[in-house]
Amino acid sequence: MNNTKEKVLSILNDLTGEDFSSKLDENLYDSALLDSMGTVQLLLDLQDQLGVNAPISEFNRSDWDTPAKIIEKVQKMQ
């Protein structure tokens, strides 16, 4: 479980240049750290590195807007 969290945080760090380990509830869209292109890259990285298939067509921004929510979603999908 922690491995998933670490991997998600690593992916987010690579995408945004930010360390979210102590900011799990930061809204990635409100703070402009993720945009639509970043979202697509995030989903591709999650699929490649964690085997999570999250189609962009089923993507709901409000369900994925913080690192904590992303980690929770990924853990449920694994």
Domain containing residue 18: CATH number: 1.10.1200.10
* pLDDT at residue 58 greater than cutoff 90: no
pLDDT, tens digit, for every residue of 6-19? 999 999 999 999 99
Number of domains in the chain: 1
Instruction: Determine what percent of the chain is predicted with pLDDT higher than 70.
Output: 99
**Domain interval for residue 18:** 2-77
What DSSP letter does each residue of the chain carry, written as one string?
-HHHHHHHHHHHHHHHS---TT-TT--TTTTTS--HHHHHHHHHHHHHHH-----GGG--GGGSSSHHHHHHHHHHH-
Q: Average pLDDT in the 68-73 region?
A: 97
* pLDDT at residue 57 greater than cutoff 90: no
| Confidence (pTM) | 0.93
